[in-house]
């Protein structure tokens, strides 16, 4: 079967890695460390996928710009103290390997830092399957389309050949801004209702269904 989407771009947190709860907890604990009001779970979950500075400015609006470095340090301390406990969503590792074997060009576009993504790729063992990656400290943060533009240039892919897979409205809006189709997954950070409002090609509710959909439609 001819590939409809030869190039598949995945978000990381909340799409490949089951990390949304740990990110929310890290933001809340870092806020507490700085004596600031803790954001609600909903507000903290909303910023998952953004670059860290953009995320913190929304999640913790009381944070003074001069305190960003300290907030980032405390967030990373709390997140990294438990990231060894995090796991990939069930079946995702096998799905990525299968898509690579089928000949798809695979990429990652993430709000993580380069250091954070490289650490995650090495720890998960998935790094061998991805042909290109972009991080928030290398490009404009989502929903700016810069990550996708750079990935398409690197992989030699036209917008019509690319599918962006993500769990947040930031991912879907980035895809729309780049003229790329988007596939939503509702098992990550943002609720299904918000994802559907961005008109993805489909909204997938479980990791098993994601594998089935991609193998049938990509």
Catalytic residue among 13, 83, 167, 181: 13
Strand partners, 135: 110
Is 11 annotated as catalytic? yes
Three-state SS across the chain? CCCCCCEEEECCECCCECCHHHHHHHHHHHHHHCCCCCCCHHHHHHCCCCCHHHHHHHHCCCCCHHHHHHHHHHHHHHHHCCHHHCCECCCHHHHHHHHHHCCCEEEEEECCCHHHHHHHHHHHCCHHHCCEEEECCCCCCCCCCHHHHHHHHHHCCCHHHEEEEECCHHHHHHHHHHCCEEEEECCCCCCHHHHHCCCCCEEECCHHHHHHHHHHHC
Which has the closest alpha carbon to 44: 67, 68, 20, 63?
Answer: 20
Considering the candidates 11, 18, 54, 167, report the single residue annotated as catalytic. 11
- Does residue 137 carry a catalytic annotation? no
As a dihedral over the C-alpha atoms of residue 53, residue 58, residue 64, residue 69, rounded to 10 degrees, the angle is -20
- Would you name the residues annotated as active-site residues? 11, 13
């Amino acid at each position: 079967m001819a590939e409809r989407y030869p190039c598949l771009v995945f978000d990381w947190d909340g799409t490949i890695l089951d990390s949304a709860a740990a990110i929310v907890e890290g933001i809340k604990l870092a806020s507490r460390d700085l004596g600031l009001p803790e954001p609600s779970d909903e507000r903290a979950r909303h910023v998952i996928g953004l670059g860290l500075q953009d995320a913190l400015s929304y999640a913790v609006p009381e944070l003074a710009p001069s305190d960003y470095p300290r907030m980032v340090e405390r967030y990373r301390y709390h997140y990294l103290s438990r990231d060894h406990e995090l796991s990939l969503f069930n079946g995702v590792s096998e799905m990525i390997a299968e898509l690579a074997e089928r000949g798809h060009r695979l990429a990652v576009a993430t709000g993580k830092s380069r250091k954070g993504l490289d650490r995650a790729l090495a720890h998960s063992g998935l790094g061998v399957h991805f042909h290109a990656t972009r991080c928030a400290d290398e490009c404009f943060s989502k929903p700016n389309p810069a990550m996708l533009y750079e990935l398409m240039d690197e992989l030699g892919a036209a917008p019509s050949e690319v599918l962006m897979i993500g769990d947040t409205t930031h991912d879907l809006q980035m895809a729309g801004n780049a003229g790329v189709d988007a596939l939503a997954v509702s098992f990550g950070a943002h609720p299904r209702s918000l994802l559907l409002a961005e008109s993805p090609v489909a909204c997938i509710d479980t990791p098993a269904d994601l594998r089935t959909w991609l193998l049938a439609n990509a």
